[in-house]
Amino acid sequence: MKAIRFAQHGEPTEVLSVEDVPVPVPGEGQVRVRILETPVNPSDLLYVRGYYAGVEAHFPAPTGFEGVGIVETVGQGVKDVAEGQRVSVVNGPGGNWAEYAVVPAGELFLVPDEIPDDQVASFVINPASVILMVRHVLAVPKGEWLLQSAAGSELGRMIIRLAKRDGIRTVNIVRRRESAAELERLGADVVIVSTEGPIDEQVRRMIDPEGVKYAIDPVVGETGTQIFKSLSEDGRMLVYGSLTREPIRIGDDPRYILAGRRTLEVYWLGYWLPRLTDAQREQLSRDIADLMREGIVETSPGRKYSLDQIHEAVTQAEEKGRQGKVFLVPGNM
């Protein structure tokens, strides 16, 4: 079969290649899935570059953490998944950028028939993160303000829609003024342009002189530093990425470390998913499906590429102003 692998960390266009490898055989408790579609997510590219903590690459390393596929073969001891079922495939070690993948049966999500492949391919990483971060980790109360950066991303748009549905008010950070109108149409209450002044000063002027209680950030660096300064004295900030790979500086100004009880936390889906009970996992799956039907956590489909077009796909996935999620389609297009 064809599979995307890399022999060393580096820029995806330089180190990723298509290789012919044996079709994997499922062991006990595992299933083999024929991959239909698999997204190119930021976490995939961070992993290739060597910046994705929590998953160690063993070279030559496969990649691709998410996707949709058809169960083709089940290993011994598998009871809850049957051959022929369409499933959401979460692949913790990576390996979905391939024609077939073998994963533990317990890491599959069973999905309703009416949800299209584009949505099932991105069923878990963004939707589950949005639900867990907003409703469970931060547990933002109705009526409160939630500040987020990278608001124009797929995940950021989901947060806007979920917050609007749940009665949470959002402050959304973008880099360009022309992005504001579209986010406001989605339900954003306030949009702040980071190039028009320090984020913390804009937040305190436009929202509350005391700051906001809840914030979510995947950018860190100077953006994350200013978001931390935007917190009220008992505010909580959740970091779920490191797009700049630069530090958040919270010790430069004593006002923010010697007064109040501001909290900086880390969110990683790879930590939370294994800690869910079977009942919690099933409830999360139902919540995702329900919110997808409502259009709350749906993914905007973008261009699709074959495995042989992997360099074009990863280039498109990081194109500024790109519209929609980029997908790899391992079968014939």
Question: Could you tell me the CATH number of the domain that includes residue 76?
Answer: 3.90.180.10
Q: What's the domain range around 162?
A: 126-270
Which among 280, 313, 245, 244 is positioned nearest to 38, based on CA atoms? 313
Same structural domain, 153 and 252: yes
Q: Bridge-partner residues for 31, per DSSP? A: 74, 103
Tell me how far apart the alpha carbons of residues 138 and 126 are, in angstroms, rounded to a whole number. Answer: 16
Please say whether the beta carbons of 192 and 170 come within 8 A.
Answer: no
Among 52-61, 89-98, 224-233, 243-252, the least confident range: 243-252
Mean per-residue pLDDT for 230-245?
Answer: 91
Mean per-residue pLDDT for 45-72?
Answer: 92
Question: Could you tell me the CATH number of the domain that includes residue 195?
Answer: 3.40.50.720
Establish whether the linkage from the previous residue to 274 is cis, with ω within 30° of 0.
no
Please say whether the beta carbons of 51 and 245 come within 8 A.
Answer: yes
Which among 45, 239, 234 is positioned nearest to 129, based on CA atoms? 239
Q: Give the helix, strand, coil percentages of the chain, each rounded to 5.
A: 35, 25, 40
Q: What percent of the chain has pLDDT over 70?
A: 97
Q: Which of 222, 250, 270 is the last residue of a domain?
A: 270
Same structural domain, 116 and 136: no
Please state, rounded to an integer, the average pLDDT across all residues of the chain: 93
Same structural domain, 154 and 199: yes
Q: What is the 3-state secondary structure (H, E, C) of 102-130?
A: EEEHHHEEECCCCCCHHHHHCCCHHHHHH
Residue 75 domain-assigned (yes or no): yes
| Residue the block writes with tokens 């598998």 | 78
Same structural domain, 130 and 251: yes
Residue 256 — very low, low, confident or very high, per pLDDT cuts 50/70/90?
A: low
Which among 58, 38, 49 is positioned nearest to 242, based on CA atoms? 49
Same structural domain, 315 and 230: no
- What is the distance in angstroms between the CA of the first residue and the CA of the last residue of the chain? 16
Same structural domain, 16 and 112: yes
**Number of domains the chain is built from:** 2
Q: What is the 3-state secondary structure (H, E, C) of 257-275?
A: CCCCCCEEEECCHHHHHHH
pLDDT at 258 exceeding the cut of 70: no
The model's pLDDT over 114-165, given as tens digits with 9 standing for 90+, comes to 999 999 999 999 999 999 999 999 999 999 999 999 999 999 999 999 999 9
Mean per-residue pLDDT for 311-331?
Answer: 90
**Tell me, what's the pLDDT at 1?**
96
pLDDT at 251 exceeding the cut of 80: no
Residue 281 domain-assigned (yes or no): no
Residue 217 domain-assigned (yes or no): yes
Residue 244 — very low, low, confident or very high, per pLDDT cuts 50/70/90?
A: confident
Residue 71 domain-assigned (yes or no): yes
Same structural domain, 131 and 228: yes
Residue 243 — very low, low, confident or very high, per pLDDT cuts 50/70/90?
A: confident
Q: Which of 249, 270, 291 is the last residue of a domain?
A: 270
Crossing angle of helices 199-206/221-229, nearest 10°?
30
Q: What is the 3-state secondary structure (H, E, C) of 299-317?
A: CCEEEEECHHHHHHHHHHH
Residue 332 — very low, low, confident or very high, per pLDDT cuts 50/70/90?
A: low
Among 99-108, 170-179, 230-239, 255-264, the least confident range: 255-264
Residue 289 domain-assigned (yes or no): no
Same structural domain, 236 and 304: no
